Amino acid sequence: MITVEGGKYTTSRSLAREVLRLISAKLNRTLSDSVSDNLYLSGCEIRDMKQFMIRQHLNYKDFSRNTVEFVSRNFGTESQVVFRIARSNPRFAEEVTHDGEILAEVVYAIQYESAKTLRDIMLRRTGIGTLGNPGKAIINKIAELAAGMMGWGEKRKEDEIASLIKVYDLF
């Protein structure tokens, strides 16, 4: 039995290759070559990053430079969905971090990435909570949005906030 822990989406191909090498050696078999080396990950279909960013800034002039930079670099070609969400409701275009992150990223995390908890939204699906506690106002704003989208009652929302705060209290 081989157990793999701690893999990240961005390094999963490399990790999978190493696991397959180990399996190949343990089974004393030669495995076929990987075919995924030439495939783009979702959102990464960008051949020229400089040109991509120029187009992003031209296409999304209604957003701050920080927001265009952050969303484009973190969501790649999927950034068009995040910007479409933000344009669909001015509330979702609100910046919630100094980096320019916007509430549309929360909507995207719930609708497209199956985020189910506030901790998942804040610490994994977005960067909003990864650099430390963003403050009660931001946490409450995101919890309120998530609660509305996922049908949480007041108790569930408060439990989600408490669970997130517990993470920050550890540090």
pLDDT in tens, 12-30: 777 888 888 888 998 898 8
- Letter for the amino acid at 118? L
- On whether residue 4 sits in a domain, the answer given is no
Same domain (yes/no): 26, 67:
no
Could you tell me the residue range of the domain that residue 31 belongs to? 9-38
Whether the per-residue pLDDT at 166 is higher than 90: the answer is yes
Q: What are the CA-CA distances from residue 64 to residues 44, 59, 61 (Å)?
A: 22, 12, 7
- The DSSP symbol for 95 reads B
Question: What is the pTM for the complete model shown?
Answer: 0.80
Same domain (yes/no): 111, 162:
yes
- On whether residue 90 sits in a domain, the answer given is yes
Number of domains in the chain: 2
Q: Which of 15-19, 99-103, 127-131 has the highest mean pLDDT?
A: 99-103
Q: What backbone torsions phi and psi does residue 80 show, to the nearest 5 degrees?
A: -60, -35
Residue given tokens 């705060």 in the structure block: 165
Alpha carbon distance 22, 20 (integer Å):
5
- On whether residue 3 sits in a domain, the answer given is no
- Structure-token pair, residue 53: 């960013």
Confidence of residue 2 (pLDDT cuts 50, 70, 90): confident
Same domain (yes/no): 14, 74:
no
Cβ-contact 146, 106 below 8 angstroms = yes
- pLDDT 10s digits, 60-78: 999 999 999 999 999 999 9
Same domain (yes/no): 77, 15:
no
Same domain (yes/no): 91, 166:
yes
Closest Cα partner for 142 from 106, 92, 89, 93? 106
